[in-house]
Structure 1
């Protein structure tokens, strides 16, 4: 049993917490706060046997993770969140980290194979995935934008243009533009999305095309494709009323790019 004011030293607990991605120092500070209750920085430094700056940096990390809260009084006091909340937050972060690793697997494999002298695969390994819900699409699409090296092509509905700005796609588009990545959008224009169109025009080119169905298409570097069927055209960023097919395949992406380029040649330039 841990008594108040003592430093926890349960190696088994520490080992389990490492599986959630915590460092030894983060574990030590969290368990110390959990066992002793609210403490000031100087107290934490003394009881943990660490320099103040080490403890301060670790506290900043734990606060960002949601595992520790700062009570704003003089001096600032720190308190650990409940174990139930902490484990829930850690599990969510671990799950998201695993999902990100899965998303990057095909791309990483391609890069590693290009470096390998004994490569046996001439082309990227095809990959297909069903993405349910808008939140997951936004996360994956942003990762693809950040991986882009040459070109990103989009076909968006008017409301998808608005949602894109709300979700921060203008920021990843700006990052792409700085890297020299070419970005193009095909969309229908409405009075509601003119401001968003002006924003996107700062980082790429937009052309007008009348859309007869609620479909969103994203093609990255002629290799990754997202095709979304939008049954919910609200501007909400979290909704299950949307299904996306993710395709990582050179042949299919090449065909989709040709279709995009054909539509692009027919579309009218937009000069907001």
Structure 2
């Protein structure tokens, strides 16, 4: 004769279709005198009201008997009798189902549905626990028909790789589904993105904190809480499963906006791994109507002499090129364009020296690098600097007109260095310049809250 533990018997009852809580109550009542609901609740670690309601249901099912005492007491039946009762209930269900099937086969039925479900009615469901969340994500990815957008925060790629849904993502790609990932990528997580299928388009967006997956403009799952520990089990994670076309439409507008602001993965990798900024440089070249400015300039009887094939007066000979002055007449500020180029150069200079932990060492190396590039002798008043002096700048001294223009680029270079190294937006303004007769260039730097 084999001896079974209480847990083994409970598992048998559960496999037979009984709720685990009911199974524990049945076993707790075995070989016990009649007990009150509060006493039974303590035995199975549930509240008195929960125990009372569960006992009433078990009584209706024939698994528990109740006395007429006040308060009411409950007693169980042998476990073998419980299984017999369950078998009888299942047999009765099978007979009832067979009867329904026979009736459907015996006559011709026209099924008229009066149930009208509003397909556009938004549905929101809460999903808890990381395992359940990613199981739900896997389901909606498997059901995708056109495209899948994924928004990943700093550690989101770790959760994705450990969830086991990568195979479902690859299956979706094989079915022709377009998959895009917008993520906050850093040096610690970039290797995981390199492992992804190359058919997935990845872009980096700084400070991307939203986590979610959105499929076919119809359904999405928005993670509203995620455990801070990236390697945790995520028992307290929570997400919102959303089926709402209006919400998804608004969400996709936001996603596309962030997507357009993001940079391609190759550019992100070049920055994080190689210390180079390779994404396109976006510049603001002016405001207002360029057409109206052009018409006004062309219609003037006397004015600026244009040398461009388009920006020329009638009967004026064609020449190559266009001057900064003529661009200025159109509202295009060359100084701002050069400042933008300078900011990019400055950020790359700072990235090149990013391994320097101490700011003092960083600026000492930068001063040497500045000189080796032929940009002159650099002197600073503090770290970070508020006054920067440049001596022996060949560009300014050789060509005063060119020097004035290039000094705007130097302003941008200094701003870019401060942005990349110290993380704030400073404004560099040239106060003295050798192109204007002074013996050195002096830049004043305005730093917020400094």
TM-score scaled to structure 1, two decimals? Answer: 0.53
Residue of 161, 170, 186 corresponding to 1:174: 170
Pairing 1:127–2:123 present: yes
Residue of 142, 145, 156 corresponding to 1:149: 145
| Residues 107-158 of structure 1 deviation map (CA, whole Å, 9 limit, x = unaligned) | xxxxxxxxx9999556344211112221211111111111111111011012
Q: CA deviation at 1:231?
A: 4.4
Q: Distance in 1 between matches of 2:118 and 2:216?
A: 17
| 1:220 alignment partner in structure 2 | 215
Q: Distance in 1 between matches of 2:219 and 2:249?
A: 10
8 Å contact from structure 1 (residues 146, 172) kept in 2: yes
Residue of 243, 249, 274 corresponding to 1:248: 243
Counterparts of 1:62-141 in structure 2, within 5 Å, are: 120-121=116-117, 123-141=119-137
Q: CA deviation at 1:163?
A: 1.7
Distance change >3 Å, CA 205–CA 117, structure 1 → 2: farther
| Residues 54-88 of structure 1 deviation map (CA, whole Å, 9 limit, x = unaligned) | xxxxxxxxxxxxxxxxxxxxxxxxxxxxxxxxxxx
Distance change >3 Å, CA 261–CA 270, structure 1 → 2: same
1:244 counterpart SS class: strand
Q: Distance in 1 between matches of 2:228 and 2:222?
A: 15
1:165 counterpart SS class: helix
Which has the higher relative contact order, 1 or 2, with Cα contacts under 8 A spaced 6 or more apart?
A: 1
Q: CA deviation at 1:236?
A: 3.2
Distance change >3 Å, CA 15–CA 248, structure 1 → 2: same
Q: CA deviation at 1:201?
A: 4.4
Gaps of 5+ in 2: 3-11, 19-111, 270-450
Distance change >3 Å, CA 235–CA 171, structure 1 → 2: farther
1:153 counterpart SS class: strand
8 Å contact from structure 1 (residues 159, 233) kept in 2: no
Gaps of 5+ in 1: 5-13, 21-115
Instruction: Decide which structure has the larger Cα Rg and report it.
Output: 2
Q: Distance in 1 between matches of 2:226 and 2:218?
A: 26
Distance change >3 Å, CA 119–CA 17, structure 1 → 2: closer
- C-alpha RMSD of matched pairs (Å): 2.9
| 1:34 alignment partner in structure 2 | none
Q: CA deviation at 1:205?
A: 0.4
Q: Distance in 2 between matches of 1:184 and 1:119?
A: 38
8 Å contact from structure 1 (residues 163, 237) kept in 2: no
TM-score scaled to structure 2, two decimals? Answer: 0.33
8 Å contact from structure 1 (residues 227, 246) kept in 2: yes
Count of paired positions: 166
Pairing 1:204–2:205 present: no
Distance change >3 Å, CA 237–CA 147, structure 1 → 2: farther
